[in-house]
Structure 1
Amino acid sequence: MKTCSICGKELPITDFPKKDKQRRRSYCKNCKLLRNEMVKARQIEILELEKGEQIEVRGKMSKGHRYSSFVSYEKAAQMVDEKVAYIVNPKLIRKYFDKETFRKLVFRRYGNSCFYCGDEATTIDHIIPKSQGGISSFSNCVPACSPCNEAKGSMNVDEFLYYYDLSTTIPGMSRVDSVRYGVMEMIEKLNYINIYLNMCLKKIEMEENALNDLVEIERLKEKVNEVNETINRYKKAGSQKVLV
């Protein structure tokens, strides 16, 4: 067995084109045309991005419409490293795939099951959200069902699974009841956070130098708001399951 360097699937060695009498290519036969397009797009000269500059990103939509945006040097370098874009010149990179092609490749790599709960996946989710600096790359995008994608929102995967571990359900429990149970768990955790928040407030009233506590409270308030938003998302997700 061998893993394709493009789609990530583990396939029989005979599914890979021959390089010579003894060796095989790193990509499978299904990805050969895609590989040819990637090679065609590459520059013969090895270019480097200009550090400290905003880098332009160009690409095509699924229907052929072109678009352009700007990202930081660090994000552009990451896109090149993860083989979703190539360098045109020190201030410009171009994406290899349009949105629909990229989506198909993600499903080909990971399958059609939701990364979080195992149900049928219909969307693509960013493990590290775009709002937190995540990019559309093969290592950061996974298949997800609509309820999980919507409930996760702008949380990273660790936060999402902390508040509700979708893979851990009570035997015999329906999907709707699992969501309902997860909401109750989050409410309980939220209550503990509120208790700790009140303790910090009382501590501040007793101490003169409480700058660190004020910072901690602001952080906790943000976390409480995030949990409340997540609970509302799960309530909505639960309603959708009931309708289905």
Structure 2
Amino acid sequence: MQAGSMCTIYKTCKICGETKHFKHFKKCGKRYRDRTSYCINCQDRSHEIIIPNTIYTFDTLELSEEFIKVRHKKRNGKYRYEYWGSLQHARQLVNEGAAGIVHEKLIHRLYTSGELRQMIRERDQFTCGYCGGHGDTIDHIVPKSKGGLLTPVNCVCSCRQCNKQKDDTDVFDFLLRKNKAPIVINS
């Protein structure tokens, strides 16, 4: 095992790859030990990243804790936020293709909400999944108020009128009320 992998005194620079004492990293937060991911020597090369990006797994059996940390990235990609979610919530995010597992206690969301919305509209070819018209919004198949999440599996492209009419009702009740069968879009 390499120094710095479990110890908080040593840290590995993401640019040069050297493991150094944490004081060789510039302070970047309110707490004493909050430091940049690159050492002081690599400060001018902070735009470079030599260490490869995180490799995700998608086997939900690897998640072992009762609560899992879920990490998001923001639109500008510069900073992120995180929260603790239940094991069931984390498994649902991974199974529905919205997150990848870093290790047994941490998952990363793969898309920002804006990226996900654009991806869903493009996937459905800007066609409403309920009436077949032009789709310019996305709708949650299982509403967020009933436990649905913002994931590729749970969202469909929708026109504003259908989205407003469906509101927070179940998709099958909505289609029965409309007397229509769902539109199937070939990918």
Q: Which has the larger radius of gyration?
A: 1
Q: Which residue of 1 aligns with 2:152?
A: 138
In structure 2, runs of 5+ residues without a counterpart are 1-51, 183-187
Q: Which residue of 2 aligns with 1:127?
A: 141
Q: Which residue of 1 aligns with 2:117?
A: 103
Alignment of 1:1-244 (within 5 A): 40-43=53-56, 48-51=62-65, 53-64=66-77, 65-165=79-179
**TM-score normalized by the length of structure 2:** 0.59
State the secondary structure of the residue aligned to 1:111: coil
State the secondary structure of the residue aligned to 1:57: strand
Deviation at 1:166, TM superposition (A): 5.5
Deviation at 1:93, TM superposition (A): 0.9
The verdict on how the C-alpha distance between 1:154 and 1:71 changes in structure 2, with shifts beyond 3 A counting, is farther
Q: Equivalent pairs: percent with the same residue?
A: 38
Q: Deviations over 1:35-87 (max 9, x none)?
A: xxxx943248x781125x12221112223352223332122112212332111
**TM-score normalized by the length of structure 1:** 0.46
Q: Which has the higher contact order (CA 8 A, sep 6+)?
A: 2
Is contact 1:118-1:167 (8 Å) kept?
no
Return the structure number with greater helix share: 1
In structure 1, runs of 5+ residues without a counterpart are 1-38, 169-244
Counterpart code for 2:73: K
Counterpart code for 1:71: G
Is contact 1:113-1:144 (8 Å) kept?
yes
State the secondary structure of the residue aligned to 1:55: strand
The structure 1 segments of at least 4 consecutive aligned residues displaced by more than 4 Å after TM superposition are none
The verdict on how the C-alpha distance between 1:105 and 1:41 changes in structure 2, with shifts beyond 3 A counting, is farther
**Aligned residues between the structures:** 128
Counterpart code for 1:69: Y
Root-mean-square deviation over aligned CA pairs: 2.6
